[in-house]
Amino acid sequence: MSLQDCFNKIIASQSKTLQEQRDVIQDIKRRGFLKQVINATIFGLGMSTCAHKSIADTIIEDLPDLGDSDRTNLSPQQADLLGKQVVLNIYAQGGMVEDFDCLDYLNKLGNEFVSYSPMAGKDFNFYLVKDKDINAFALPGGYICANNGLLYTTLSEAELSGVLAHEVGHVVQHHIFRNISVHSRAQWTSIAGLIAGVILAPINPGIAMVAAQSGSALGTQNMLSFSRDYEREADRVGQNLMYKAGFDAHAMPGFFQRMQDRYKFNTNDAYAFLQSHPVTLERLSEAETRANQLPVKMRPDSLDFLLAREKCRIRQLDYKDSLKFYNSAIAAKRYVSLEAQLYGLSLTHFLQKDYTESIQTLDKIKSRVYQSNPMVAGLKAKQLIVSGNNAQADKLYDQLLDTYPTHKGLWMGQLEFLIANRGYAKAAVRLDELGRAFPFDPDVWDQYAILYADNRYNNPIRYHYGLGSEYIVLGNYKHGLEQYKTALKKKPTNKEDDKIQSIISARIPEIMRAMSS
């Protein structure tokens, strides 16, 4: 069986039962082709498989025809819509890690590289995928996804930086657009469905097969796989970006070599990375030569990296193996940071609901630098909540948010705590602040709608305003407009409601223009 045969089998299975479709995926997996199918398709997900289908339907109408050799038919706005659509579909299929601490870290680090590139000033978005394989991929519009397995596997922040900067290089050099052959909008949608299935297959074969039902395309390998020339170009750009950020440029070829050596010894988790990032002696040599020509820079690992890696480790291993790892590493003093190991051990106990052990372990962290880190302090706040110390937890959240006002893990943690404990008035004040500070964050408006639902703070105008704003941020103008119109039909109960309705009335013409453009 060839790789093309695998694609043909997936396409042919569309007319069969769901169980027969699952059997196809399992058969391809047994034959050893599943990873090749997945990694032959660097990016893309099916438009018609999104659980929030109304969002997908709205965005697909705005997708461009893809077919130019560079970017003449793809505006920045259209590229953003396409990349956003892919991310929405991964979320809808449950393929993303919703860990705000790790996402905050990845976005700070990744956008630091962007700041040194020709695309400085543009916001890139970085995500974490629920996949244990070692890999990362770039999407149109500056959307970059890294697998959980990548962050877990990196031995240093410089290694992680090499991979992220490499992916930024692909976007900066427009490789995605230059790599797409002539396909109509309808053909792209069909191809994307097939790619959805193969990308999601390691996470959930059943969901993956349903996603693949919308695909009927072929030739995806040639269309989406980056050439070796593109890989070397992304290396060159990426090394320059990571070096400007203060990291050792040798870490990039060093990581590639380590993945190659790992695969030689039959460690399959490195296979995905090598398939989508082909490593040759020429490529390694060029990257090493470039690094040798640069003055040495050795930026140390940040606390955020060390702590985020432990969160990824716990997801990579089960709780039993995580406990075994941490206890062994601490006993043998086999670690870069004892505090990071104690944090990982405490978090594992917490997730197992062994709260006493979790609290005692976290209390062993004596470094004030670590104690004040938002990840460590955020865990401390959650420990206070489960211990019934709600007032102390709320006070700690306030103190932390004064220091880290943009840290999403903290403000989401406090919002969920306040709403769960009927602290509606304070949650309302906090959400008004967040709505002004982060008007394009759908999670802000999601929490806004949750707060004002009829079984909580019960304000219909604000509930529909929050839900409508969430739809609009996600690009679903039709459903957003419906919610806004519903909010305008409700009777105000105070002057603040009048203000919200005035805001809605002012925004509707803008939404109508967006829908017609």
The one-digit pLDDT tens for each residue of the chain (517 residues) are 554 566 566 556 655 655 565 566 556 555 555 444 444 333 322 222 233 333 323 322 333 332 233 444 556 776 777 778 778 878 877 889 999 999 999 999 999 999 999 999 998 999 999 999 888 988 878 999 999 999 999 999 999 999 999 999 999 988 766 655 434 444 444 444 444 444 455 555 554 444 444 444 334 434 444 567 888 899 999 999 999 999 999 999 999 888 888 766 555 555 555 455 666 778 888 999 999 999 989 999 999 999 999 999 999 999 999 999 999 999 999 999 999 999 999 999 999 999 999 999 999 999 999 999 999 999 999 999 999 999 999 999 999 999 999 999 999 999 999 999 999 999 999 999 999 999 999 999 999 999 999 989 999 999 999 999 999 998 889 999 999 999 999 999 999 999 999 999 999 999 999 888 6
What pairs with residue 125 in β-bridges? Answer: 143
Looking at residue 424, its pLDDT comes to 97
Tell me which residue of 194, 254, 146 sits closest to 47, measured CA to CA: 194
Structure tokens at 149: 């397995």
Contact 84, 472 (CB under 8 A): no
- Max Cα-Cα span within the chain: 71
Give kind and range of the element (H or E) at residue 443.
helix 442-451
The last residue of a domain, from among 199, 225, 251: 225
Tell me which residue of 108, 137, 135 sits closest to 124, measured CA to CA: 108
- CATH number (domain holding residue 356): 1.25.40.10
Overall pTM > 0.75: yes
Would 49 be classed as within a structural domain? yes
Would 284 be classed as within a structural domain? no
Cα gap 347→68, rounded to integer Å:
49
The last residue of a domain, from among 225, 259, 282: 225
In three-state secondary structure terms, 261 is: helix
In three-state secondary structure terms, 146 is: strand
Would 300 be classed as within a structural domain? no
Tell me which residue of 312, 9, 40, 80 sits closest to 199, measured CA to CA: 40
Tell me: do 63 and 167 sit in the same domain: yes
Tell me: do 18 and 140 sit in the same domain: yes
Cα gap 8→346, rounded to integer Å:
48
C-alpha torsion 155→160→161→167, nearest 10:
150
Q: How many domains does the chain have?
A: 2
Cα gap 81→475, rounded to integer Å:
8
The last residue of a domain, from among 209, 225, 241: 225
Looking at residue 175, its pLDDT comes to 76
Tell me: do 337 and 462 sit in the same domain: yes
Tell me: do 192 and 330 sit in the same domain: no
Tell me: do 188 and 337 sit in the same domain: no
Give kind and range of the element (H or E) at residue 128.
strand 125-129
Full domain range(s) for residue 369: 317-516
Residues with Cβ within 8 Å of 346's Cβ and at least 6 positions away in sequence, in order, are 357, 358, 359, 361, 362, 379
Tell me which residue of 445, 371, 386, 374 sits closest to 417, measured CA to CA: 386
Tell me: do 326 and 215 sit in the same domain: no
Tell me: do 343 and 481 sit in the same domain: yes
Contact 196, 45 (CB under 8 A): yes
Looking at residue 326, its pLDDT comes to 98
Give kind and range of the element (H or E) at residue 109.
helix 100-115
Would 292 be classed as within a structural domain? no
Half-sphere exposure of 426 (CA within 13 A, CB side): 16
Tell me which residue of 8, 22, 6 sits closest to 211, measured CA to CA: 22
Would 259 be classed as within a structural domain? no
Q: Cα 416 to chain center, whole Å?
A: 21
Tell me: do 329 and 465 sit in the same domain: yes
Would 141 be classed as within a structural domain? yes
